[in-house]
Amino acid sequence: MTTAMLFILLFGCMLMGMPIAIALGLSSVTTILLFSSDSLASIALKLFEATSEHYTLLAIPFFILSSAFLSTGGVAKRLINFAVDAIGHVRGGLAMASVMACMLFAAVSGSSPATVAAIGSIVIAGMVRSGYPEAFGAGVIANAGTLGILIPPSIVMLVYSAATEVSASRMFMAGFVPGIMMGGILMIAIYIAARIMKLPAQPFPGFGQLARSGLIALGGLMLIVIVLGSIYGGIASPTEAASVAAIYAFLIAVVGYRDIGPLKGVAWRKEGEGMGSVVARNTGLMLLALPKSVTHPEVRKVLVDASKVSMMLLFIIANAMLFAHVLTTERIPHTIAEVIVNWGLPAWGFLIVVNILLLIAGNFMEPSAILLIMAPILFPIATQLGIDPIHLGIIMVVNMEIGMLTPPVGLNLFVTAGITGRDMVWVIKACLPWLCLLLFFLILITYIPQISLFLPEYIDQLKGY
């Protein structure tokens, strides 16, 4: 009875158009008050624990702030220039370079909509000017942008880690190979389509220009080394790496590239200026500018915007954890686990059920809420069937990627529609051929666990575990 009322209230609130966070919280509180033996004090306690006891969740605001600085600054444009110089000369190379830029930006942002917005706002119009169909460019970017939650660091992986107590570092390791693999599949498909459609290729700019664009983009690329290198090397936890990433992103946007803040537009070197003078002048400018940066209107706007996104996401997480608390208190996951195990369902059959459930949920809910609701239910069943929790996590993340592209709540669809100025039906049609590739990739990830587990197991061997 309690279980039925909990889900009836949740879906009833969602059908009325209530925001998902409020629907989760209201259904949980109402169930506790009217149908559960749990105390009222548990509501306040669980909301407090949701944002204070899960150390891993502290990384989310830092990664969001890092992404905000990089999105506002010109990091995305520099990564795109480097990608175009690297592979733009291949037929369909501009679209392939867009995928490469999405992969690079995903590795510094951790967000799928941010990746689509930062890269898509530049490259979709560029592809159209170069002779690509607009639908082709929009579909490529919307799908490549989903790599923002698969290639580490990923906010969605942090949420899964908080929900299941699985190591966030191992999740980041597990997402690296699948992310590179999915990017490679997209590039191969683009190349085949480009040959058939006779899409243009850019002239090769030469190794000198490639080296220059790589050096210019190095400021953004170094963030990948700092974050993933420190986590994979065991130097820092994901939360510590995220805080360093936020500071580095601030410095690279304000002092390094000077795209925002008090030094905006100030050249690093004047004509005829010697190296000693360059170092002295820039050191002096940096010391003068840093105290003013925090109060600068552009920097302040980035901080405010990042705070809004963080509060929104953490509010969803807190209410979803309250919902998960009700599930656990009523022993719903354990009951479902016992029923499915008693059915004698094999692991491969259970994974089919998992994918179907998550694909359906992805049509209606935000990824973080889905993970926090479904992970406590699916996790104990998976462990009893011998499925690795890390493997289950990557399967869930890939399902969330697909959810980013399915109406009516697909976030990447809305971002792409905003960039192109097209209606939602047009964007869905543009994404559909590429979505089939994601479904094929989901099958590979589901039934070849070593794609996900190879890197974490290999790093464990290197560390002597």
Question: What is the chain's mean pLDDT, rounded?
Answer: 83
Place of tokens 């973080």: 368
Q: What is the pLDDT of residue 19?
A: 79
Place of tokens 């971002």: 415
Q: What is the pLDDT of residue 318?
A: 80
24: amino acid identity, one letter: L
Q: What is the pLDDT of residue 241?
A: 87
Q: What is the pLDDT of residue 272?
A: 61
Burial of 257 (0-12, 13-18, 19+ CB in 10 A): buried
63: left (phi over 0), alpha (psi -120 to 50) or beta: alpha
Measured CA to CA, the distance from residue 144 to residue 100 in angstroms comes to: 9
Task: Count CB atoms within 10 A of the CB of residue 325.
Answer: 21
Q: What is the pLDDT of residue 451?
A: 93
DSSP symbol at 152: S
Q: φ, ψ for residue 273 (rounded to 5)?
A: -80, 135
Measured CA to CA, the distance from residue 114 to residue 190 in angstroms comes to: 22
416 neighbors 120 (Cβ within 8 angstroms): yes
SS3 of 35-102: HCCCCCHHHHHHHHHHHHCCHHHHHHHHHHHHHHHHHHCCHHHHHHHHHHHHHCCCCCHHHHHHHHHH
pTM: 0.85
Q: What is the pLDDT of residue 446?
A: 94
Place of tokens 């942002």: 109
Tens of pLDDT, residue by residue over 174-229, are 999 999 999 999 999 999 999 898 888 888 888 888 899 888 888 888 888 888 88
Place of tokens 């901080």: 303
Residue ranges of domains in the chain: 58-301
Burial of 153 (0-12, 13-18, 19+ CB in 10 A): buried
Q: What is the pLDDT of residue 191?
A: 92
110 neighbors 67 (Cβ within 8 angstroms): yes
Measured CA to CA, the distance from residue 456 to residue 176 in angstroms comes to: 10
Q: What is the pLDDT of residue 53?
A: 61
Q: What is the pLDDT of residue 261?
A: 73
144 neighbors 102 (Cβ within 8 angstroms): yes
171 neighbors 157 (Cβ within 8 angstroms): yes
53 contacts: CB under 8 Å, gap ≥ 6: none
Nearest to 355 by CA among 316, 399, 413: 399
Directed axis angle between helix 59-72 and helix 93-109, to 10°? 140
Name residues of the chain where pLDDT drops below 70. Answer: 1-2, 36, 38, 46-47, 49-55, 73, 265-276, 278-279, 281-282, 285, 287-290, 333, 337, 464-465
CA distances from 224 to 52, 100, 103 (A): 28, 14, 11
Measured CA to CA, the distance from residue 314 to residue 311 in angstroms comes to: 5
367 contacts: CB under 8 Å, gap ≥ 6: 149, 156, 159, 400, 403, 404
Q: How many separate helices (H) and strands (E) can be counted in the chain?
A: 21, 0
